[in-house]
Amino acid sequence: MPEERKLPDSETMDLSPSKETYRSIQSDVSPVGAIKELIDNALDNWERVHGRQTDLDIDITYDPSEDLFEITDNSGGLEEDQIGKLFALGESTKETVNTPIGAYGVGAKKAIVKLGRNAELRSRYKEQEFGYGFSISEEWIEKPEDWEVEKRPYTDMEAGTTTISITDLALDLDEAGEEMDVDASGIDTEQFIDGLRHQLSQTYEVFLQSSPDFTGHLSISLNGEEVRVPEPIDWSFTPFDGFHPRSYENITLRRHNLDHDVSITIQVGLMATANEDEAGTDIFCQNRKVITGNTDAKGGYNTEHTENVGEVGPSRGRLKVRLFFKTTGDAERLPWDTQKNDIDEYDSLMQEVYEEWFDSIVEPYWRAARYSTFPAAFLQPYSSTGEWQANNGHLYEFDYRGRQRVNDKPNRDYDDKDWLEQTIDTHVEAGITAPHLVDERFRPTYREIVNDTNVAEVEEVALNKLVPVPDCPADTSDKELADTIEEVRATAQEDANRGRRQNFSDEWWVPVYKAYLRHYADYDSLTSVASNDGVESVESEEDDPANEKTPARGDTTESENSDSDSQATLGSHQESQTDSEVTEDETDGETPRETQTTGHTTTEDASETISSDTDSSDSSDSSESENDNNTSQEIPESSQNSQGPDDLKGHRQSKPDKKTVVLDFDLDDWQQLCAYLGVDSDSDIEEDVEPELKRVILSELLDN
CATH number, domain with residue 315: 3.30.230
Q: What is the mean pLDDT of residues 353-371?
A: 95
Residue 680 lies in a domain: yes
Work out the pLDDT band at 703, boundaries 50, 70, 90. Answer: low
Residues 262, 169 within the same domain: no
Question: What is the per-residue pLDDT across 497-537, written as a single tens digit (0 to 9) for each?
Answer: 999 999 998 889 999 999 999 989 999 999 999 885 433 33
Residues 193, 273 within the same domain: no
Work out the pLDDT band at 613, boundaries 50, 70, 90. Answer: very low
pLDDT at 622 > cutoff 60: no
CB 281 within 8 A of CB 337: no
Percent of all residues in the chain with a pLDDT value above 70, rounded to a whole number:
67
Residues 250, 214 within the same domain: no
Work out the pLDDT band at 96, boundaries 50, 70, 90. Answer: low
Residues 280, 370 within the same domain: yes
Question: What is the per-residue pLDDT across 557-577, written as a single tens digit (0 to 9) for each?
Answer: 333 333 333 333 333 333 333
How many angstroms separate the CA atoms of 632 and 626, rounded? 6
Residue 429: what pLDDT? 86
How many angstroms separate the CA atoms of 325 and 350, rounded? 10
Q: What is the mean pLDDT of residues 482-488?
A: 91
Percent of all residues in the chain with a pLDDT value above 90, rounded to a whole number:
49
CB 195 within 8 A of CB 35: no
Residue 286 lies in a domain: yes
Work out the pLDDT band at 456, boundaries 50, 70, 90. Answer: low
Residues 93, 196 within the same domain: yes
CB 659 within 8 A of CB 571: no
Residue 432 lies in a domain: no
Residue 543 lies in a domain: no
**E strands in 508-559:** 527-530
pLDDT at 255 > cutoff 50: yes
Residue 532: what pLDDT? 52
Residue 416 lies in a domain: no
Burial grade of 579 (CB within 10 A; 0-12, 13-18, 19 or more):
middle
Query: Could you give the number of structural domains in the chain?
Result: 3
How many angstroms separate the CA atoms of 117 and 138, rounded? 5
Distant-in-sequence, close-in-space partners of 198: CB < 8 Å, separation ≥ 6 = 180
Q: Which three-class secondary structure state does DSSP give residue 611?
A: strand
Residues 146, 286 within the same domain: no
Residue 394: what pLDDT? 94
Where is average pLDDT lowest: 174-178, 407-411, 517-521? 174-178
pLDDT at 553 > cutoff 60: no
Per-residue CA distances from 332 to 195, 198, 328, 337 (Å): 28, 26, 11, 8
Distant-in-sequence, close-in-space partners of 667: CB < 8 Å, separation ≥ 6 = 595, 598, 600, 601, 602, 608, 673
pLDDT at 617 > cutoff 80: no
Q: What is the mean pLDDT of residues 347-355?
A: 93
Residues 216, 264 within the same domain: no
Last residue of a domain, one of 399, 416, 450: 399
CB 135 within 8 A of CB 149: yes
How many angstroms separate the CA atoms of 169 and 79, rounded? 28
Model confidence, pTM: 0.71
Residues 261, 379 within the same domain: yes
How many angstroms separate the CA atoms of 351 and 156, rounded? 52
Q: Residue 167 belongs to a domain with what CATH number?
A: 3.30.565.10
Where is average pLDDT lowest: 9-23, 362-376, 488-502, 646-660? 646-660
Domain range for 297? 246-399
Residue 315: what pLDDT? 87
Residues 114, 77 within the same domain: yes
Residues 136, 52 within the same domain: yes
Question: Which secondary-structure segment (H or E) carries 417?
Answer: helix 415-430
Strand 600-602 with 660-663, pairing:
unpaired
CB 444 within 8 A of CB 387: yes
Residue 126 lies in a domain: yes
pLDDT at 131 > cutoff 50: yes
Residues 151, 279 within the same domain: no
Residue 42: what pLDDT? 95
Report the length, in residues, of the chain: 704
Residue 597: what pLDDT? 35
Residue 164 lies in a domain: yes
Q: What is the mean pLDDT of residues 625-652?
A: 35
Instruction: Give the residue among 510, 563, 600, 516 at the shortest CA–CA distance from 698.
Output: 563
Last residue of a domain, one of 379, 399, 419: 399
Q: Which three-class secondary structure state does DSSP give residue 115?
A: helix
Where is average pLDDT lowest: 44-53, 289-298, 411-420, 673-682? 673-682
CB 72 within 8 A of CB 163: yes
Instruction: Give the residue among 116, 114, 110 at the shortest CA–CA distance from 137.
Output: 116
Per-residue CA distances from 386 to 165, 239, 268 (Å): 47, 12, 19
How many angstroms separate the CA atoms of 613 and 567, rounded? 14
pLDDT at 388 > cutoff 80: yes
How many angstroms separate the CA atoms of 174 and 186, rounded? 8
Mean pLDDT of the chain: 77
Residues 261, 383 within the same domain: yes
Per-residue CA distances from 94 to 43, 71, 105, 557, 570 (Å): 11, 20, 7, 99, 83
Residue 13 lies in a domain: no
Residue 6: what pLDDT? 62
**E strands in 223-352:** 225-226, 246-252, 262-270, 280-285, 288-294, 319-327
Residue 616: what pLDDT? 37
Last residue of a domain, one of 342, 365, 399: 399
CB 499 within 8 A of CB 526: yes
